[in-house]
């Protein structure tokens, strides 16, 4: 009864939950979006005029008598079929779906498979959950420094290597199995969290809800198949680890091929999604780019200071005296 009661409370709270402002803007209901922004400002103790909001949102000159922006073509089938129509957007969706499918499969299969390697499933699961807290903190820190792609691919790569090691180094040492099992669960947990975080930033607002729902469905299918992968222990005790290791390496490559979303303007329309992060290099890393920009800024500042010092009157007088 407790889960049912909590679900009922969440259902009732939907009455006070405002609609997404980004979605309202994407479908042309700008007046309603402005009202939502003003409610948020009042809740935070800020005063923002409608004129200021219009200025920030780059209010177009034309709008209907009710103050709404003319609605764009955002029909259900039109926007849904756009995922298939636009090649770059289609590629992003396929990569995200396959990556999510494999991540969920490995996460569930790993948790079930470790219990068939002679370990206490409840004990190892409790230990792994305890270590997930520092992993989540690491994810939060890494996402703002390294971006999304590098940590995500790194977690899946680490999980795949650990699973392959367990499949190759066939030992009955419980300590070895416990350490490797905890590392693999932590790695897949990190990849799981970052994958869904990245997906919420990749897709345009007008189709984000639908695409994320289908992605969650792909993840659930992967979790179901994860149980079948774990059952491969009937043929070989370490066969599930071999399968998970190979799939994890494939997922690392697929997820690394997604665009980086850190410090990028999130897409709103279908066209924004098609052009999102266009021109971004394959090995793009926000940390390296930020350091390069800071170094170039320091060099520019040094050069400008040198030019100013050469052109100052004091230097001219000193040069004449010399």
Distance of CA 246 to the CA centre of its chain: 23
Structure token pair of residue 84 = 């298939």
For position 98, what pLDDT does the model report?
95
CB proximity list for 44: less than 8 A, separation 6 or greater? none
Q: What is the pLDDT of residue 76?
A: 60
**pLDDT value of residue 317:** 46
260-275: burial string, b at 16+ Cβ within 10 Å, e else:
bbbebebbbbbebbbe
Closest CA to 83 of 270, 209, 218, 215: 270
Burial (0-12, 13-18, 19+ Cβ within 10 Å), 242: middle
What single-letter DSSP state applies at residue 219? H
Q: What's the pLDDT tens digit per position in 22-79? A: 767 766 777 888 888 888 888 888 877 777 777 666 644 444 444 454 445 555 666 6
Query: Given this model, what pLDDT does residue 24 score?
Result: 76
Give the angle subtended at the CA of 288 by the CAs of 282 and 289, to the nearest 5°: 80
In this prediction, residue 126 carries a pLDDT of 80
pLDDT of residue 313: 55
Q: What are phi and psi of 85, to 5 degrees?
A: -75, -45
Both tokens assigned to 258: 């997604």
Cite the beta strand spans of the chain per DSSP E. none
For each of the domains in the chain, give its residue range(s) and CATH number, in order of start: 21-69 (no CATH), 82-274 (1.20.1250.20)
Model pLDDT, residue 216? 92
- Name the stretches of the chain with pLDDT < 50: 59-67, 69-71, 317-318, 322
The pLDDT value given to residue 57: 66
Q: What is the pLDDT of residue 93?
A: 92
- Report CA-CA distances (Å) from 64 to 23, 36, 61, 70, 195: 19, 19, 10, 7, 40
């Amino acid at each position: 009864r407790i889960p049912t009661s909590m679900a009922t409370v969440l259902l009732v709270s939907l009455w006070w939950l405002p609609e997404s402002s980004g979605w309202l803007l994407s479908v042309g209901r700008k007046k309603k979006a402005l009202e939502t922004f003003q409610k948020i400002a009042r809740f935070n103790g800020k005063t923002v005029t409608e004129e200021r909001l219009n200025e920030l949102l780059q209010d177009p000159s034309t709008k209907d008598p009710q103050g709404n922006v003319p609605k764009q073509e955002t029909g259900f089938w039109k926007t849904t079929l756009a995922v298939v129509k636009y090649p770059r957007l289609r590629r992003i969706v396929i990569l995200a779906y396959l990556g999510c499918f494999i991540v969920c499969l490995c996460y569930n299969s790993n948790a079930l498979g470790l219990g068939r390697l002679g370990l206490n499933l409840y004990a190892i699961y409790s230990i792994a959950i305890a270590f997930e807290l520092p992993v989540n903190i690491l994810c939060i820190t890494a996402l703002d420094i390294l971006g999304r792609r590098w940590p995500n691919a790194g977690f899946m790569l680490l999980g795949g290597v650990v699973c392959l090691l367990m499949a190759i180094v066939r030992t009955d040492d419980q300590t070895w199995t416990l350490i490797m099992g905890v590392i693999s669960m932590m790695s897949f947990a990190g990849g799981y969290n970052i994958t869904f975080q990245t997906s919420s930033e990749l897709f345009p607002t007008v189709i984000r809800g639908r695409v994320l729902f289908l992605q969650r469905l792909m993840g659930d299918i992967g979790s179901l198949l994860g149980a079948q992968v774990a059952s491969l222990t009937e043929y070989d005790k370490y066969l599930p680890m071999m399968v998970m290791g190979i799939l994890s390496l494939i997922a690392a490559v697929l997820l690394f091929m997604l665009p980086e979303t850190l410090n990028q303007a999130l897409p709103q329309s279908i066209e924004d999604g098609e052009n999102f992060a266009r021109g971004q290099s394959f090995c793009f890393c926000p940390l390296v780019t930020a350091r390069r920009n800071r170094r170039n800024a320091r060099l520019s500042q040094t050069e400008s200071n040198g030019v100013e010092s050469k052109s100052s009157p004091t230097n001219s007088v000193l040069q004449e005296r010399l």
